[in-house]
A = this chain, B = another copy of it.
Amino acid sequence: MTVTEAATERLIRIGEVARGAGVSVRAVRYYEQQGLLVAERSPSGQRLYRQDAIARIRFFQQMYAAGLTSRRITELLPCWDSGHTDAEQRAMLRAERDRIQAKVDELQAALNRLDEVIAITDTHP
Interface, chain A (partner B; CB < 8 A)? 59, 62-63, 65-66, 79-80, 83-85, 89-90, 93-94, 96-97, 100-101, 103-104, 106-111, 113-115, 117-118, 120-122, 124
Contact = CB atoms under 8 A, between A and B. Distances in A.
Nearest to A113: B62
Contacts of A94: 118
A13 B106 CA distance: 28
A111 B107 contact: no
Contacts of A121: 79, 83-85, 89-90, 93
Nearest to A80: B117
A2 to B, nearest CB: 29
Given A83-B120, A117-B80, A124-B83, A104 B93 contact: no
A56 to B, nearest CB: 13
B66 A110 contact: yes
Nearest to A115: B97
8 contacts: A62-B106, A63-B110, A65-B103, A65-B106, A66-B110, A85-B117, A93-B117, A93-B121
